[in-house]
Amino acid sequence: MGEKQKLSYEQLEEVAQQMNEQLKKVYQQLQEASMGNLFKRLDFLFKVLENAHMFDDTFVDTCTNEVVKLITLPEDKEDSLVEEEPHPSELDTTAEVDEAEAVAETKAAKK
């Protein structure tokens, strides 16, 4: 058998780029398949709800909760970040830590 030829840096970059593009395509296919599975699952959940009389009440409740969870939009992250105080380890100075603790104590006192 012949010797294996070592690839140059440029060849390795090209191979890495090709593999990256292939990975992106496969990931896109995975995302599309996952979305298809989600919609198919929702179809079945709605069928259960349409025929609730044929199923146990606990199972119908579980399906109802799952439908609600799947179709509820997530909260806006910006709104939730505004309400949260930064963790003291994330602050740069002692004065900022003291200020954060004072704000937290004020909020706790208001409750």
Are 13 and 67 within one domain? yes
Residue 74 pLDDT grade (very low, low, confident, very high; cuts 50, 70, 90): confident
Residue 93 pLDDT grade (very low, low, confident, very high; cuts 50, 70, 90): very low
Does some domain include residue 106?
yes
| pTM, rounded to two decimals | 0.52
Determine the Cα angle at 99 with ends 96 and 103, to 5°.
140
Of 9-13, 44-48, 107-111, the poorest mean pLDDT is in 107-111
For all residues of the chain together, what is the average pLDDT?
A: 80
Residue 106 pLDDT grade (very low, low, confident, very high; cuts 50, 70, 90): low
Give the percent of the chain with pLDDT over 90. 57
- Boundaries of domain holding 63: 8-72
Number of structural domains, the chain?
Answer: 2
